[in-house]
Amino acid sequence: MCASLANSFCTPGTQICERPSGPGAASSKCRNCCRPYGYTSQYCRSSETYRVVLGRHSLSTDEPGSVAIAVSEFVVHPKWNSSLANGYDIALIKLAEPVTLSYKIQLACLPPAGTILPSNYPCYVTGWGRLQTNGATPDILQQGLLLVVDYATCSSDSWWGGSVKTRMVCAGGDGVTSSCNGDSGGPLSCQVDDGRWQVHGVVSFGSSLGCNYYRKPSVFTRVSSFVDWIDEALLTPVRHGEDATASFQRLDAEGRGCNHLRACCSTQRVG
């Protein structure tokens, strides 16, 4: 699996609901319609036809409340050049039709631009990737607690060295828990002080020595380094064939108008 369900956020034109109570749970008290974007690693893209499945926990079960939506557009970062080590491993996914938010389908917040998480900050990686190096792939969505590794440590010679850039986030490296093959494009979700969950990373790469290799933490594209690019991509009506003045008006959780994704997200209430 490449694109993760948690990597979803709405373009202006929708009301924001209350936040989930955990990385895989939801506690919304409102149901509103939105035409969301998701983000994934550019590495995941191919010539295949894509669908985005939302609200799914088991891959083999047709779960009530889950939906599958066609993809109408990919927006690739202009500096992507097929090199994961270059640090621009991110793309936006536009869904072909609106989605109704529910107790199973919720949004994730973008972190403020430039945010750097401190060392040992607890976050969760989620996905349907392999359970261990060369291991089986699960049917049930998995999550793993990873502690952030600061850039100075992660870029040192005994860790990742120069393969890691400041546009990345390292998490894990204890030799026990990590992302693995099939998790690429999935989220690194971190809870902030007010209880909201933010997606701080997108799974980019791991070690060729194995998924759970000591001092080779999972490496994520750092979302906070690309918030301005995301805003610019969403606010380009020519690209998306939309009227900017009509499409980018939205309501916050209290029903007040706001015209910026981060402004709306910052007004969310915690359930």
So where are the chain's domains?
A: 8-106+225-265, 122-224
Closest CA to 220 of 204, 232, 238: 204
- Pick among 2.40.10.10, 3.40.50.2300, 3.40.50.300, 3.40.190.10: CATH of 8-106+225-265: 2.40.10.10
Residue 78: Cβ within 10 Å count: 8
**pLDDT cut 90: percent of the chain above it:** 47
Asked if residue 123 has pLDDT above 70, the reply is yes
Closest CA to 171 of 218, 138, 239, 221: 218
Average pLDDT over residues 142-157: 97
Average pLDDT over residues 215-237: 90
What pLDDT shows up at residue 37? Answer: 53
Site of tokens 């209290």: 254
Least confident of 28-42, 77-91, 122-136, 138-152: 28-42
What pLDDT shows up at residue 219? Answer: 97
Asked if residue 32 has pLDDT above 70, the reply is no
Query: Looking at the DSSP assignment, which residues form a beta bridge with residue 83?
Result: none
Alpha helices, H only, the chain = 151-154, 227-234, 237-240, 244-247, 261-265
The DSSP-derived string for 51-99 is EEEES-SBSSS--TT-EEEEEEEEEE-TT--S-GGGS---EEEEESS-E
Per-range mean pLDDT, top range of 12-21, 96-105, 127-136, 260-269: 127-136
Please state, rounded to an integer, the average pLDDT across all residues of the chain.
Answer: 76
Radius of gyration of the chain (CA): 18
Name the band, by pLDDT with cuts 50, 70 and 90, for residue 241.
Answer: very low
Backbone dihedral angles phi then psi of residue 232, each to the nearest 5 degrees: -65, -40
Closest CA to 261 of 49, 10, 15, 5: 10
- Record the pTM: 0.75
**pLDDT cut 70: percent of the chain above it:** 69
The answer to whether the 8-106+225-265 and 122-224 domains have the same CATH topology is yes
Average pLDDT over residues 213-225: 96
What pLDDT shows up at residue 44? Answer: 52
- Return the structure tokens found at 40: 């994934």
Name the band, by pLDDT with cuts 50, 70 and 90, for residue 242.
Answer: very low
Amino acid letter, residue 3: A
For domain 122-224, is the CATH number 2.40.30.30?
A: no
